Amino acid sequence: MQVPLSEVLTLSSVALLVSTFGVVVRRGFAGWLSAYRYQSVVLAGSTAVIAYATGLWEIYAAAILTLVVKAIVIPRLLVRVTESVKDEFKIEANPYVSIRLSLLISALLVALSYGVIHETLISANLDVYALTYLPVSVSLFFIGLFVMVSRRMALNQVVGLLIIENGLFLFTTALTQGVSLIIEVGILADILVGVMISALLLLRMSQTFDSFDMVSLESLKDD
């Protein structure tokens, strides 16, 4: 059975956006992580589609790396590090922006992304992958940023950052058919080390501070 390419592209875009909304609507850390894991699996699939269409082995390799690092290693690492952290530090009970309003804003951000890409890259000769995936990748970027600023928990900032990185990866792959593999590996290594360091910091902060609340992180200022 032959599945038309355009439907595969549309389906994977929808799946990516759904997973991002999953992060927006959930309050608990476990929920965010499973949404992120799901997003990374779909991302690896989308990368494989681009690899199949372009026939470049380097993009296949990037897809496999994405699957291994983002869908397996990073979620496990975060779960292990936060094991000892009390549950009340992992649940966003009182975000700056309510969940309902967050959902609405995220939907607007998706619309904005489609508008931005069609406005700015209209002059460029984009292929079908770029046309489908670029607005999605910019949506991930915007929603990731929004998640970072709208929540109180420090853990949420890591999740927001990871969504931003996923958006970046999709943007890079869709627009330039992947920069060379060695750079992709370098970027992935940076993300991995960054997550490790932030996890280490979180662990230490959970021992020193009373909470992961961003309000408790405002002692340094000019006075």
**Interface residues with other proteins (CB under 8 A)?**
120-121, 123-125, 141, 145, 148, 154, 157, 161, 164-165, 168, 171-172, 175-176, 179-180, 182-183, 186-187, 189-190, 193-194, 197-198, 200-201, 204-205, 208-209, 217, 219-220, 222-223
Task: Kindly state the DSSP code that residue 91 receives in the 8-state scheme.
Answer: B
Q: How far is the CB of 2 from other proteins (least distance, A)?
A: 30
Give the C-alpha separation, 71 to 148, whole Å: 21
Tokens of 219: 């002692």
Tokens 């929540």 sit on residue: 151
For other proteins, give the closer residue by CB, 11 or 126.
126
As a residue count, the chain comes to 223
For other proteins, give the closer residue by CB, 5 or 185.
185
Task: Kindly state the DSSP code that residue 84 receives in the 8-state scheme.
Answer: T
Q: How far is the CB of 50 from other proteins (least distance, A)?
A: 14
Q: Is the separation of the CB atoms in 82 and 155 below 8 Å?
A: yes
For other proteins, give the closer residue by CB, 88 or 222.
222
- Would residue 204 be called left, alpha or beta, if left means φ above 0 and alpha means ψ between -120 and 50 degrees? alpha
For other proteins, give the closer residue by CB, 76 or 127.
127
Q: How far is the CB of 1 from other proteins (least distance, A)?
A: 35
Q: How far is the CB of 165 from other proteins (least distance, A)?
A: 7
Single-letter code of the amino acid located at 95: P
Give the C-alpha separation, 208 to 212, whole Å: 10
For other proteins, give the closer residue by CB, 34 or 216.
216
